[in-house]
Amino acid sequence: MRARLTLWYVCVLAIVLSVYAAFTVLFLHVSLREGLDQGLDAELDRVEDALVAGPDGSIRLGGHDEGGSLVEVWSPEGALLLRRPEQAGQALGAPRVDAGGITYESLRTPSGVALRALSRIRRVGQRDVLVRVAMSEEPLLHELRELEAGLLVGLPLAIAIAGLGGHWLAKRTLAPIDTMARHAERLTADTLGERLPVDNPRDELGQLARVFNVALARIEESFARLRRFSADVSHELRTPLTAIRSVGEVGLGGRRTESEYRETIGSILEEADRLTVMVDTLLALSRADAGEVRLHFEPVDLAALAREVAAHLAVLAEEKEQELEVAAAEGVVVPADRLVVRQALVNVVDNAIKYSPPGSTIRVAVSGDAAAGRIEVADQGPGIGPEHRERIFERFYRIDTGRSRGQGGAGLGLSLAEWAMAAHAGRIEVESADGRGSTFRLSLPRGVAAAGQPAR
């Protein structure tokens, strides 16, 4: 990157300096040429004042002629009337006059001397003649050659110095990137707590380092959640496996009656069912995380869905002498995957039954407006403290610190419900307080965007 930046810098600088040098040479050439033309004009006026016509029709220079320039006088017919004696071998050549009677031209003598000539028609005596005056262009060309030589030497030198300076500046500017790269190479899964150095948080590289540090913080958090998840999975799987092994060892410890063997096998099957449910839920969440779950949207009547779920779980509520009450507004229809939303609602209502005391009432209410349809599940359980409220949707998170399995469940139901709402561009919220029960609210949008995805 330093080499590319330096190369681009040198190329752009070379182009800019070359264009500037070309315009400088052109400007100086035009300026010197204009000065020479003004001198020619003044010299021509002086020569014209010094011209004298002889009685025989000849033309000569009077006593005021000071010399110093090349002078020729030509007749309109093209005959040479006058040439200074000292300019032998430096003839100006045949005259050429434009329509205005005045001509500036650059020419060379037979000896190779560069001249700038001015020709003008002038009346001397009784006749019109063409007066030509010329001065050497060598001083002008000499100054231009000196300037060009200086530029040919100075420009490469200036570009080389600028290139070295640009490379040093690029190296100094990009040094924080080298530092960040070396620091990032040392990062491992065990050193994610380290952060990239930020020399100047206000410049672009400082902002880049800040963004990387934010990303590292998120990765560190993800690793921590993954470690917790792995530990929780190990714990949750070990418990039923240990129970199965213990029950099997007890069953094999001696001769049992048929009813005892049946009870042993039933306990093993119960733990196996619990393992199956947990594994199926984990697979569903894993597929959801990988984006492999394809939702099949259809119009879903939330009132009918709430009654169906309540009827499905009524047996569990009756075992605890609970009342499962449904208050549903009719006509609340949303586009959704019915099976996914049904499973989410089953998980929420099942939690309410598990954590509500015997004889309590669990209320399922359906409402909606033009934007969304909502299902609220309110229980009369112990409530959820504020320290748990933000974490209850985490996988394997349970409020009971002893991780009691008396009420069943592995802490995955609410995680699955949260994913289901997010997949429909909806949301799940909880309102609760210690000792006052909890209310879970599932909201689903009533519009569907293109390609069968939920409107956002």
Cβ-contact 300, 327 below 8 angstroms: no
DSSP 103-164: EEEEEE-TT--EEEEEEEEEEETTEEEEEEEEEE-HHHHHHHHHHHHHHHHHHHHHHHHHHH
Out of 2.70.50, 1.20.1280, 3.30.2310, 3.30.450, which CATH number does the structure's domain 2-142 have? 3.30.450
What local confidence, expressed as pLDDT, does residue 15 receive? 92
The CA-atom distances, in angstroms, between 56 and each of 76, 125, 128, 167, 452 are 17, 11, 15, 80, 113
Residue of 405, 407, 409, 383 lying closest to 396 (CA atoms): 409
What local confidence, expressed as pLDDT, does residue 376 receive? 92
Q: Does domain 204-288 have CATH number 1.10.287.130?
A: yes
Q: Which pLDDT tens digits describe the chain residue by residue (456 residues)?
A: 778 888 888 898 889 989 999 999 999 989 988 898 898 888 888 888 888 887 777 777 776 556 668 888 888 777 888 887 666 666 777 666 665 567 888 888 777 788 888 888 888 877 888 888 888 888 888 888 898 898 888 888 988 888 888 888 888 777 777 777 777 777 777 777 777 777 777 777 778 888 888 888 888 777 777 776 676 666 667 767 777 787 777 777 777 777 877 888 887 887 787 677 667 766 766 666 666 667 888 999 999 999 999 998 888 889 888 999 998 888 889 999 888 898 889 889 988 898 888 989 999 999 988 889 999 999 988 888 776 767 777 766 666 544 444 444 556 778 888 888 988 889 998 888 777 788 999 999 987 543 344 333
The CA-atom distances, in angstroms, between 198 and each of 191, 208, 346 are 18, 9, 50
CATH 1.10.287.130 in the chain: give the residue spans: 204-288
CATH 3.30.565.10 in the chain: give the residue spans: 294-452
What local confidence, expressed as pLDDT, does residue 285 receive? 64
Q: Domain 294-452 in CATH: superfamily?
A: Histidine kinase-like ATPase, C-terminal domain (3.30.565.10)
